[in-house]
């Protein structure tokens, strides 16, 4: 049987091998486009929906700053929360059942750090692991003389560079922590921001070389001041745990910025100014 031919004399239907390769390429491009476009379309749909009433009730109950935010920041926070909940996976550990209260409370506190900032919602983060209470993590330490020790440490939170944050739920809603200006969610998610540079060293992504220079100058001085105060058993506004290293100093300073803003601005004005420039908000405006 002879194929009909076009004006060039070539068969109207291409060779079977050529036909297959062309269509495989087309299918591959379509699938790749779908993988890229579909999540964006789903996110757009999620963000277009009304914020659930029960979510707002959870925020009013468990995120004290929410009710004192101006309307525009409340709207920003809600949008960030919806994206956070859409993109991140929550995992209950040690028998913990993940509920809307857990998800919305953690997302609400974490997204306070993103208000007014042109940034994605923790792009490196994929999973939040939640324990009912303090969890035990193994630790290895090298001592003098090359001696290696293995211990177990009780923790209320931990941030990993592999896309995980681990939290203890009872510490998130602990009234004593709130009274003392401590917040494990703010602390661990400050570590997440810190790690976006590729190194968790107390210097998050800043806008310019000049910004890094100003940041380094202030942070180094304040870190040294805290270490001196801790070594001499002096009372400190900033959590003494921040004297451990620059990364922990940034995390506890973030807690103080959001939870003790008036006192921090009064007693550590240079530090407050750096954090205000980075976070693009002034939590003093939210004080009850």
pLDDT tens across 206-247, in order?
Answer: 989 999 999 999 999 999 999 999 999 999 999 999 999 999
pLDDT bracket for residue 16 (50, 70, 90): low
**pLDDT score, position 29:** 64
| pLDDT exceeds 90 at position 98 | yes
Q: How many domains does the chain have?
A: 1
Name the range with the highest mean pLDDT among 22-36, 40-54, 182-196: 182-196
pLDDT bracket for residue 136 (50, 70, 90): confident
- Say which range, 43-47, 83-87, 157-161, 265-269, has the weakest mean pLDDT: 43-47
Cα separation, 15 vs 122, in Å, equals 49
- Name the residue range of residue 205's domain: 201-288
Assigned domain for 14 exists: no
**pLDDT score, position 41:** 74
pLDDT bracket for residue 49 (50, 70, 90): confident
258 φ/ψ angles, rounded to the nearest 5 degrees: -90, -25
| pLDDT exceeds 60 at position 142 | no
Cα separation, 103 vs 96, in Å, equals 12
Tell me how far apart the 2 most distant CA atoms of the chain are, in Å.
98
Distances in Å between the Cα of 169 and the Cα atoms of 67, 134, 234, 262 are 22, 8, 31, 27
Domain of residue 253, CATH code: 3.40.390.10
pLDDT bracket for residue 121 (50, 70, 90): very high
| pLDDT exceeds 80 at position 43 | no
Assigned domain for 172 exists: no
**pLDDT score, position 5:** 43
Contacts of 119 (CB under 8 A, 6+ apart): 205
| pLDDT exceeds 80 at position 54 | yes
Assigned domain for 56 exists: no
pLDDT mean over 136-163 = 68
**pLDDT score, position 13:** 44
In the chain, which ranges are continuous DSSP H helix?
16-48, 53-62, 71-87, 100-111, 169-172, 175-179, 184-195, 209-231, 246-259, 261-267, 269-279
149 or 181, which is more confident = 181
Assigned domain for 276 exists: yes
Assigned domain for 61 exists: no
Contacts of 169 (CB under 8 A, 6+ apart): 96, 102, 130, 131, 132, 133
Average pLDDT, the chain: 87
């Amino acid at each position: 049987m002879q194929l009909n031919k076009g004006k060039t004399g070539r068969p109207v239907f291409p060779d079977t091998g050529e036909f297959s390769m062309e269509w495989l390429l087309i299918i591959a491009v379509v699938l790749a486009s779908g993988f890229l476009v579909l999540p964006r379309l789903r996110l757009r749909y999620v963000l277009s929906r009304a914020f659930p009433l029960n979510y707002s009730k959870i925020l009013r109950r468990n995120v004290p700053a929410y009710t004192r935010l101006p309307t525009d920041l409340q709207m920003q926070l809600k949008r960030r929360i919806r994206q956070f909940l859409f993109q991140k996976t929550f995992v209950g550990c040690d028998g913990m059942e993940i509920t809307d209260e857990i998800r919305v409370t953690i997302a609400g506190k974490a997204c306070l750090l993103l208000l007014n900032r042109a940034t994605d919602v923790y792009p490196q983060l994929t999973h939040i692991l939640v324990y009912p209470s303090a969890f035990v993590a193994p630790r290895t330490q090298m001592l003098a003389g090359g001696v290696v020790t293995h211990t177990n440490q009780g923790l209320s939170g931990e941030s990993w560079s592999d896309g995980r944050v681990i939290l203890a739920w009872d510490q998130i809603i602990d009234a004593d922590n709130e009274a003392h200006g401590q917040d494990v969610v703010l602390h661990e998610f400050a570590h997440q921001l810190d790690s976006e540079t590729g190194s968790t060293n107390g210097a998050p992504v800043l806008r310019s070389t000049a910004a890094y220079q100003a940041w380094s100058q202030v942070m180094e001085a304040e870190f040294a001041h805290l270490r001196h105060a801790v070594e001499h058993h002096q009372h400190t506004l900033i959590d003494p745990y921040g004297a451990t290293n620059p990364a922990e100093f940034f995390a506890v300073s973030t807690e103080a910025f959001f939870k003790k803003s008036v006192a921090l601005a009064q007693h550590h004005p240079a530090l407050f100014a750096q954090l205000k420039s980075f976070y693009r908000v002034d939590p003093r405006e939210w004080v009850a």
